[in-house]
Amino acid sequence: MSTADRVMQSYGRCCASPDFFDSFYRHFLASSPEVREKFANTEMNGQKLLLRQGILNLVMHARGMPDTKLRALGCSHSRAAMDIRPELYVLWQQALLQTIGEHDQQYCNETRNAWNEVLDKGIAVIKAGY
């Protein structure tokens, strides 16, 4: 099975867990005062939908989709827009991996490595827009 396929299956299992996205934001918001500040005035139900789509875009990029949507995310998260510093993506990725580990019953080192490979590739595109 390819890395991207392994991640797609893992993500499907995570999305089937009713509180996956709430769990992610609990971990992510707990990771840093700066992260909490960035989300202080955010409508979280809509944000969770954006997260769901954003993760899917990262996975689809790893499966060969053009990077158009990731570059658009990079633009919206850039210094000139939301000013999401590149260092914050480390916290985002750590929170996501922690949450996946809690919600994917088949999570193992191989799955974690696959997620890291997929996330590193896509996040590099987003950070390049900073």
At 1 the pLDDT is 87
Residue 87: is its pLDDT beyond 90? Answer: yes
What is the percent of the chain where pLDDT is above 70? 100
| Residue range 42-54, pLDDT digits in tens | 999 999 999 999 9
Q: Which CATH architecture has domain 3-128?
A: Orthogonal Bundle (1.10)
Looking up tokens 């790893």, which residue turns up? 62
| Residue range 7-29, pLDDT digits in tens | 999 999 999 999 999 999 999 99
pTM for the whole structure: 0.95
C-alpha–C-alpha distance, residues 127 and 130, integer Å: 5
Instruction: Mention every residue, 6+ apart, whose C-beta is less than 8 A from residue 115.
Output: 7, 10, 96, 97, 100
Contact 11, 55 (CB under 8 A): yes
